[in-house]
Amino acid sequence: MVNRNPVIAVIGAGIAGLEAARQLADLGYSPVLIEKEPAVGGHVAQWNRLFPDMTPAAEVIDALKKQTAKIRTLLGTEIASINRLKDGFSLVLTDGTSLLCQAVLFATGFQLFNAAKKEEYGYGIYDRVITNRDLEAWFNTRKDMRIKQPEAVGFVHCVGSRDLKAGNTQCSKVCCITAIKQAIEIKEEFPDAEVYCFYMDLRLFGKKYEDFYIKAQRDYGIHFIRGRVSEVGEAIDGRVVVKAEDTLNGKPVKVTLDLLVLMAGIVCNPDAQHYARQVGVSVDDDGFLKSRDNIAAITESSRPGVFFAGACTGAKTIPETLAEARSAALNIHHYFNKRK
Amino acid sequence: MIYQGKQKIWADYQKEIPDNHWFYVRSCIRQNFFPASEKYFLAICRDQLGRDIYESEHHTTCAGIAYHCDTIPQETAMTVVARQFALMTEAGYENLVTSCITSFGNYTEILETWRQFPELEEKVREHLWKACRREFKKPKYVAHASDLMYKLRGEIAERAHFQLVHRATGEPLRIVEHIGCHYSKMFPHKGVGGAEYPCVLSGMAESWGGRVIDYPERRHCCGFGFRQYFVKANRGYSLSNTHKKFESMEPYRPDAIITNCPGCPYFLDRWQYVISEMEGKTYGQNGYGIPVLTYEELAGLVLGVDPWNLGLQVHQVAVEPLLDKIGIPYDPARKYLGMDEKKIMTPGLPTSLKCF
Amino acid sequence: MGRYFDELSKDYRFKEGLKTCINCGTCTAICPAAEFYKYDPRKVVDTVQRKDDGEIEALLKSETIWYCGECMSCVTRCPRGNGPGLVIMALRNLSARLGYFTASEKGRQLWPLTKTLNNNILHTGYCIHPSTFDCDEYPESGPVTRWVMDNKEEVYGRLGANYEGKGPGVLRHIPQQDLDELQAIFDETGGTERMEAVERASREKAAELGMDFEEYTKYTYEHCSVGHFNDE
């Protein structure tokens, strides 16, 4: 029997889930958005301004919300269990209801690396150490006791990325551009502050990203030190003392700062790994969900009816995520057509 | 500083430390320079707390110092250690406790290396058999003596006569804790509290009433550096690193430094003497230095052992100001006596550092 | 190409210590030696990683590899799981085996070190022992140590040691049969061979420098040229 109006469970109502749901609805299907937080928008809803054009994040989110306003959305709801059936899937949700669907789209996104795990950086121990997320939140709310007219600010690249001991050997892709963006924003806020970026490599692969680097050097005098931060300590006045090597000069350096921003990386959402196993989809050796093919079929899993969009398969930028969301919707459309 | 942040980390690095039945191996440096420390470690654990800690008279150095001075090949170092394991096995023990931190690091590194490369363990077994017809079982647990004392710190607190508190003000003493590098830098999960915020010493200090100070160079090596100290030509390295630590801790006005490595207290103590002779600078109050204690000496003091029986007279930096702060009585006339209360000649005094 | 690298690869410390280095500098950042000496553990590992025989031979003969204090602070932090301190140990051991250590001032110190420590171990069973501790060689040990060493029996006795006594205890006399076992272990595992190789290479060097061997031993132990430290 053919289902005239297939239902698709879209797990996660961040930008990937919202965009995919929009596309699926336009194609005439019935997506259901399942979101564990009390609001849609995922991580991007918490951000302030987005590279490369400094677009307000709120604009992107508001547009997506408007376009998905009529789609069935279950907020504050998680999945208690998910099972594969002969022709679809059955989900039991934490609100007690169950949902029958013909396809599942993982739009579960990422989890920000817990910076407290990099013990030597003192997050959660030293007062003046914050993360990229904390700083972005401050740009939105201007409420953070730790940020008080800093005269010297440091950005630590690769926190929880490219790091065997942190449990994530991959690059998180977007932290370098975010660090430079935030460094420029801090300079605009506190023009007299000295700002330092401590990096191993600068990965500025995207459209107009290199312009940020040029601007940071030419217009804002931001200092770039090629050396991974080894240790953070606290001086008697509460300022943080950072140790790194200036590898281009071959000398160890010690810098005292009023504020240190840790660029916490992107790791897989552990809930996603849990649900994925329940539907027979594997986790790749980088911890993210495993696509059918990493070149030709990123949005497809190895099992029929299960699809992916966005950071659940690896670190992604916003345009990449939106593109994958549309692509996944198209994959689902073809999947249903083939079954007719 | 957010203390709860550290507590969360300590919870991740809980190490299993058996309660009893230990095979004890001694430390070359501790025996030479802090001779009463090991005596009191055993006395406290055996006599006061009723534990079984066994010492074989046939055990030797683990040769860790030679290993890190690169004067012996790795297989020699491993076979000497294998012999210690054989003595332990022969005596019927499976828990090994070391007095020296380099030993602890050495035993841990060797066991980890054998785990990764079993063919090397086989080779060492052959070597040991050919050399002295001995066989061994690997220890089930290896701990450092400070781990044991950390585990027993509550029982020691119950029996304490003194608290690490300033008698006049009621304020907890400000304690700098210095952990030997070879305790947890190579294998953070083998140290209580990990490598960044180990709590083996801070746990003891806090249980006994003190307050632990964090300062920027807390994790920095004391600068022993093995060959960097033993060879006269290199000692500047050792002195420079200790000096760096003192300059960093000075603004925090510590009352005492406690250590678990046998070498570190020697360096933290003697280099203060040298700095005062060279530059006239001291780090304690009023021309005294900051007293440096081993954890056994600290435990002995809180339990009411006479400071001169504990061997505090063989430190260069005067401990009397600290004893006065805590209110521990001592008899200055008995400080430099020999055996059986015999009066012997007293040591010379430094020209700059104030000593008694 | 890679002959020295292959030799190094046989050392288990090298197997543990060299995975792949990305030159991030985390090790150098907290290295006590890098701060004071003209030393950079990152550069050492990067050089070795390149496997070039000429560069590694130069390292084996250089001052560089002898600056490390083997504190292992680098092992804690490396994001790629390397251990520059372990690589240094492998380099030092290869340099000792090949006799290259005599090419550098710091390397030549291996002879007085080997002589003192290994003889202490084989003759007393301790790495350090009061019977061989000369206060004049360690003036920084202070007046109190001189007092202890001048009054060994009294002071150690008062502190409850079993100095040179039978049975267990602090500074006990370790029985000859146990020292014989240590000697046998040294013979069996290449320890004795290493001592002989180090002595042989050092004697050759002493002759080359026109020094009497005892003079050479003292000189290598005490002499420090200008130029090792960062501000020189």
- Residue C154 and residue B233: Cβ atoms within 8 Å? no
The first and second tokens of residue C24, run together, are 């991030």
> Min CA distance, A252 vs chain C (Å)?
5
pLDDT of A1 higher than 60: no
Render pLDDT for C160-187 as a digit per residue (tens, 0 to 9).
999 999 999 999 999 999 999 999 999 9
Confidence of residue A2 (pLDDT cuts 50, 70, 90): low
Q: Which helix (H) or strand (E) holds B134?
A: none
**Region B16-145: CATH code:** 1.20.1050.140
- Chain A residues with CB under 8 Å of C80 CB are 164
- Residue A241 and residue B216: Cβ atoms within 8 Å? yes
Give the number of beta-carbon pairs within 8 Å between A and C: 66
- Identify which of B74, B185, B309 has the shortest CB distance to residue C73: B185
pLDDT of A4 higher than 70: no
- Chain B residues with CB under 8 Å of A119 CB are 9, 194-197
Residue C230, in any domain of the structure = no
Render pLDDT for A202-233 as a digit per residue (tens, 0 to 9).
999 999 999 999 999 999 999 999 999 999 99
- Low-confidence stretches of chain B (pLDDT < 70) are none
- Chain A residues with CB under 8 Å of B214 CB are 233-234
pLDDT at A129: 98
The first and second tokens of residue B2, run together, are 């957010």
Confidence of residue C44 (pLDDT cuts 50, 70, 90): very high
Say if residue C122 is in the same domain as residue C216.
yes
> CB-based burial of residue C165 (10 Å sphere; 0-12 exposed, 13-18 middle, 19+ buried)?
middle
Say if residue C118 is in the same domain as residue C181.
yes
Cα dihedral A208→A209→A210→A211 (10° resolution) = 60
ipTM value, please give it.
0.97
- Chain C residues with CB under 8 Å of A202 CB are none
B53 touches chain C (CB under 8 A): no
Say if residue C123 is in the same domain as residue C65.
no
Say if residue C85 is in the same domain as residue C121.
no
Average pLDDT over residues A182-209: 97
Q: Percentage of residues in chain C with pLDDT exceeding 70?
A: 100
pLDDT of A3 higher than 80: no
Break chain B into its structural domains and give their ranges.
16-145, 160-341
- Residue B5 and residue A116: Cβ atoms within 8 Å? yes
Angstrom distance (rounded) from CA B201 to CA C50? 42
Average pLDDT over residues C125-131: 96
Provide the strand spans (E) within A35-178: 49-50, 55-56, 72-74, 79-84, 89-93, 98-101, 103-106, 110-112, 129-131, 152-159
Confidence of residue C2 (pLDDT cuts 50, 70, 90): confident
Residue C123, in any domain of the structure = yes
> CB-based burial of residue B218 (10 Å sphere; 0-12 exposed, 13-18 middle, 19+ buried)?
buried
- Residue A243 and residue C24: Cβ atoms within 8 Å? no
Say if residue C139 is in the same domain as residue C33.
no
- Which listed CATH number (2.120.10.30, 2.70.70.10, 3.40.50.261, 3.50.50.60) goes with A115-266? 3.50.50.60
Say if residue C147 is in the same domain as residue C182.
yes
- Chain C residues with CB under 8 Å of B29 CB are 127-128
Q: Percentage of residues in chain A with pLDDT exceeding 70?
A: 99
The first and second tokens of residue A231, run together, are 């240790």
Say if residue C65 is in the same domain as residue C137.
no
Which amino acid would we find at residue C157? G
Give me the sign of the Cα torsion angle C32, C34, C38, C44. Answer: positive
Question: Which of C66, C98, C130 represents a domain boundary (last residue)?
Answer: C98
**Residue B53 φ then ψ, to 5°:** -125, 120
pLDDT at A298: 97
pLDDT at C1: 57
- Residue B1 and residue A116: Cβ atoms within 8 Å? no
CA distances in angstroms from C183 to B115, C179, C194, listed in the order given: 27, 6, 13
Residue C141 DSSP one-character state = G
Confidence of residue A5 (pLDDT cuts 50, 70, 90): confident
Mean pLDDT of all residues belonging to chain B: 95
- Identify which of C67, C141, C194 has the shortest CB distance to residue B270: C141
CATH 3.50.50.60 positions along chain A are 7-109+269-339, 115-266
A241 touches chain B (CB under 8 A): yes
Say if residue C18 is in the same domain as residue C62.
yes
Residue span of the structural domain in which C73 resides: 3-98
Say if residue C66 is in the same domain as residue C118.
no
pLDDT at B7: 81
pLDDT of A271 higher than 70: yes
**Region B160-341: CATH code:** 3.40.50.11810
Say if residue C181 is in the same domain as residue C126.
yes
Nearest-10 crossing angle of helices B200-207, B295-302: 10
Angstrom distance (rounded) from CA B85 to CA C226? 45
CATH of the domain at C44: 1.10.1060.10
Confidence of residue A339 (pLDDT cuts 50, 70, 90): confident
Question: Which of C70, C98, C126 represents a domain boundary (last residue)?
Answer: C98
CA nearest neighbour of A155 among A124, A186, A125: A186
Chain C residues contacting A via beta carbons under 8 Å: 22-31, 34-35, 40, 42-43, 76-81
Say if residue C117 is in the same domain as residue C87.
no
Which amino acid would we find at residue B93? Y
Residue C231, in any domain of the structure = no
**Residue B111 φ then ψ, to 5°:** -65, -40
Say if residue C123 is in the same domain as residue C58.
no
Residue C52, in any domain of the structure = yes
Taking CA–CA distances from C40, the nearest residue in chain A reads: A250
- Identify which of A162, A231, A244 has the shortest CB distance to residue C79: A162
**Region A7-109+269-339: CATH code:** 3.50.50.60
Under a CB-based contact definition with an 8 Å cutoff, are residues A241 and A254 in contact? yes
> Min CA distance, B2 vs chain C (Å)?
23
